Structure 1
């Protein structure tokens, strides 16, 4: 198969949310004590998990969780609840942290993100970013000069469909003018991103490891599929 277009997931694939340690310095538990390192680590895991339920939720919050990437208000509502249940009971503290989590400038690109995006562009391959997300991630690319390499951003809250729904993949393929059989989807979730294979796309799985540990995951994924 000759790959003629590439789709990338965002979180855990091209970028990763890696907090500045000062983000969590002010956070306290219900007793007023600072969160320990273990609690901080678990907190960030819950805030960035691509699929699955991370805490027990009421029916109302469960609805918000299932639809969080379709509606910014539901996203905010349920993640404030996740923060509360994860040891951040102070509402103002939770709101301040949430605002950081949805700030595109706070996200860190993987070391090979720029090279891979530029490499695709140099080969004339149209690139799309396909993300289950409830906020605009374009500034994360624009601030780093990477937006020039992206033909289309297909964001769930804008197109009203979330992976693994085939509709969001079809939207991305249509916008790129690409056939599924000649498109590679790269992502960190076999469940969500891997559903592209049901339409006929090739799929490459990358690990959502810290950026300091995964230095060439994207390059390796694309070379495996003879893209670079």
Structure 2
């Protein structure tokens, strides 16, 4: 069946959270020392990893972790704990970093994000953004005028389901008005985004590399499925 719609994941697929030098310059660990580059890189990974628990948690925070993308309050609670357990003991610094995480304007688009969205929409196909997320990412698109290419945003905290649960993929394709078999899901997680296959969608995997190292993976994925 022909592909008539494309669903894109957000984090690690269309956008990536990448700090500038000021973000972590003054963040100090429990020993009072400024975090080195390796520690900074690991901290950012823990803030944006799509799947897999990144630190050990007590029962209370374990529950919050499992439900973080369904509830903004639980998301905030567990990520502040993740930051604390990852070497950011000062609450004020953890709060500042968390604010960066949930501010759409702080996220960096991949070099080919605009071209990919525009190409799919321009071909007459539907474009959807499907994300496990606990905050509204629409401003990342509207501030660039890219919302004009997106027919629908299916966000886990709004629909009460998370990838790879079939309910969230079903909601996304129904909102686009297409069949799963005519939909391509593009994402950076085989486990989460690849769950679309269970519903009958096609799937394309991209690597969540830094934006400077991944210039055209979205366009390559579209091309591989005959959409360019």
Give TM-score, length-normalised by structure 2.
0.99
Q: Which residue of 2 aligns with 1:13?
A: 13
Q: Which residue of 2 aligns with 1:220?
A: 220
Matched, 1:187 2:187: yes
Q: Which residue of 2 aligns with 1:86?
A: 86
Q: Which residue of 1 aligns with 2:75?
A: 75
Question: 1-side partners of 2:19 and 2:101: how far apart?
Answer: 8
| Structure 1 position 32, deviation (Å) | 1.6
Question: 2-side partners of 1:30 and 1:169: how far apart?
Answer: 42
Residue-by-residue CA offset, 1:112-168 (whole Å, 9 max, x unaligned): 000010001110111000000000000000111111000000000000000001000
Residue-by-residue CA offset, 1:47-81 (whole Å, 9 max, x unaligned): 11000100000011010000000000100000000
Give TM-score, length-normalised by structure 1.
0.99
Q: Which residue of 1 aligns with 2:200?
A: 200
How do residues 44-193 of structure 1 correspond to structure 2 at under 5 angstroms?
44-193=44-193
Structure 1 stretches of at least 4 aligned residues deviating more than 3 Å after TM superposition: none
What's the secondary structure of 1:21's corresponding residue?
coil
| Structure 1 position 107, deviation (Å) | 0.2
Question: 2-side partners of 1:74 and 1:47: how far apart?
Answer: 14
Contiguous gaps of at least 5 residues in structure 1: none
| Structure 1 position 30, deviation (Å) | 1.2
What's the secondary structure of 1:215's corresponding residue?
coil
Question: 1-side partners of 2:155 and 2:24: how far apart?
Answer: 28
Contiguous gaps of at least 5 residues in structure 2: none
Q: How many aligned positions are there?
A: 228
| Structure 1 position 191, deviation (Å) | 0.5
Question: 2-side partners of 1:29 and 1:192: how far apart?
Answer: 32
| Structure 1 position 210, deviation (Å) | 0.4
| Structure 1 position 31, deviation (Å) | 2.0
| Structure 1 position 169, deviation (Å) | 0.4
Question: 1-side partners of 2:202 and 2:43: how far apart?
Answer: 33
How do residues 14-29 of structure 1 correspond to structure 2 at under 5 angstroms?
14-29=14-29
Question: 2-side partners of 1:116 and 1:23: how far apart?
Answer: 29
Question: 2-side partners of 1:180 and 1:49: how far apart?
Answer: 26
Question: 2-side partners of 1:112 and 1:222: how far apart?
Answer: 11
Question: 2-side partners of 1:176 and 1:45: how far apart?
Answer: 32
